[in-house]
Structure 1
Amino acid sequence: MRNIFLWFLMLMINFSCITFFYKKFGKTGLYAWVPISTILANVQVVMLVRLFGMDATLGNILYAGGFLVTDILSENYGREDASTAVKIGFFSLFSMTAIMQVAISFTPLDVPEGLEMFNGVKAIFSLMPRLAFASVVAYLISQFHDVWLYEVIRNKFPSVKYLWLRNNGSTLISQLLDNFIFTIIAFYGVYPLEVLIQIFISTYIIKSIVAICDTPFIYLAEYLFRHKLISDKN
């Protein structure tokens, strides 16, 4: 129960931070949050915990929260601005990976305390090329698909009362695509088929919970924007 409580607490902190960044800094705040969530998600992905009776990583909340950011941008500003956020996320992930791979290649100072800290950082950022490639490909395809599908659903159901439909519909389908791409590229041939299916199902269930829980926050973001309560300088 402790893990579930902490998981929901982190989920609420994540969505509250997104809302605060948007309220305080407008569209720029959402752009700023993208690299924060992308980088932290890839740090947390090495932290394995037990949630809802399943083995899971903590990075799912921050990663799935990126879909809320692009949905807010799609709703209030349009497809082009949402696509910009996806590009920022991609280059943030690529830059972080490249820089940290060089950083962990340094020869550390032969001091016990320094070696311990260096090895700890190295353990986090020593990403296998296959996993890094899977993450980047899945991110780009699923996020651009989310932006595209959101616009498609919005064109068919433009009313605010269908905001939940375009938010959840685009996110749940795009995360299904993301899960499939990442699982196949990262783990096909590494684990048996039944293990791949288990990884796919457990990860998607957790990401789906995050997607459903973000619904009140996109309504709040739309309300703030419609009533001109956003500190947006653009």
Structure 2
Amino acid sequence: MEKPDSASAQEQPRFRYYDLVMAAFVTILLLSNLIGASKPSYVTLPVVGQWSFGAGVLFFPVSYIIGDILTEVYGYARARRVIWTGFAALLFMAFMAWVVVKLPPAEGWPGQESYEFVFGNSWRIVLASMVAFWAGEFANSFVLAKMKVWTQGRHLWMRTIGSTVVGQGLDSLIFYPLAFWGLAGWPVELLWQVVLSQWLIKTAWEALLTPVTYLAVGKLKKAEGVDIFDTDTDFSPFASSSERA
């Protein structure tokens, strides 16, 4: 298996599955933001009672797991391209939702109010979602890539969980206060309970799915014939990359 010193040091391979992994990442990202981001739900726990959490937490962490796989297999530079692709997709989704909601409904159509409730997110929610995604994903990818170099490629579980603690922590800490602070139905106690719940549940998801991550990483590295270490990579989110997939 090829082990280049850095993403920039290797020849330009044509990866077989990179585009598919990118598509899976963007799909999960869009659906989790579209369907579950603004709905608080709850579970009843022994002693604690009702414990609130954001409904999107059930599926959104999968995007972080895919992000871990992207960075581990293809390197930070290619993960950066995917993160920006997801960011652009979120931006277009927000624009499309705004346009469609603003269009006048046909006479007699009864669904406008419900449509506005589901898709008419305020500028705060859109901004919070995009800022949280951008900061969290780049932090996640950066930490994982750096830890891979520090550990010399060992202890994948430590890298995936450690990067998730940082990335998902930033995501939750940014999104919910920025989107819902001061709004009716979101008292401060509920807000911070949801932030903590999101962080813990996302990290727990990452830990539980570690065997799946190991399996996916192993198969992709073998299929693509690479194991990239970002020793000389420019980690700026805004750096250009000459690498192609």
* 2:161 partner amino acid: N
Give the C-alpha shift of residue 184 in structure 1. Answer: 3.0
Change (3 A) 1:71 1:177: same
Give the C-alpha shift of residue 229 in structure 1. Answer: 7.8
* 1:129 partner amino acid: W
Give the C-alpha shift of residue 189 in structure 1. Answer: 4.3
- Distance in 2, matches of 1:47 and 1:189, equals 16
Give the C-alpha shift of residue 193 in structure 1. Answer: 4.4
Aligned CA RMSD, in angstroms, stands at: 2.3
2:29 is the counterpart of 1:41: no
Higher relative contact order (CA 8 A, sep 6+): 2
Structure 1's unaligned 5+ residue stretches are: 1-24
2:162 corresponds to which residue? 169
Whether the 8 Å contact between 1:41 and 1:62 is mirrored in structure 2 is yes
Q: Which of 83, 90, 93 is 1:86 aligned to? A: 83
Q: Which of 196, 211, 215 is 1:201 aligned to? A: 196
Give the C-alpha shift of residue 71 in structure 1. Answer: 0.9
Q: How many residues align?
A: 204
Whether the 8 Å contact between 1:44 and 1:57 is mirrored in structure 2 is no
1:65 corresponds to which residue? 62
State which drifts further: 64-73 or 193-202. 193-202
Give the 5 Å matches for 1:219-230.
219-228=214-223
Give the 5 Å matches for 1:100-139.
100-111=97-108, 114-116=109-111, 118-139=112-133
SS of residue in 2 equivalent to 1:228: helix
1:19 corresponds to which residue? none
Q: Which of 176, 180, 183 is 1:187 aligned to? A: 180
- Distance in 2, matches of 1:175 and 1:83, equals 17
- Distance in 2, matches of 1:119 and 1:26, equals 42
SS of residue in 2 equivalent to 1:104: helix
In the superposition, the TM-score normalised over structure 2's length comes to 0.75
State which drifts further: 51-60 or 102-111. 51-60
Whether the 8 Å contact between 1:100 and 1:125 is mirrored in structure 2 is yes
Larger Rg: 2
- Distance in 1, matches of 2:138 and 2:172, equals 14
Whether the 8 Å contact between 1:172 and 1:211 is mirrored in structure 2 is no
SS of residue in 2 equivalent to 1:56: strand
1:75 corresponds to which residue? 72
Give the C-alpha shift of residue 91 in structure 1. Answer: 0.7
Q: Deviations over 1:93-150 (max 9, x none)?
A: 1100101101111111123xx423x443322111011121111111101111111111
* 1:106 partner amino acid: L
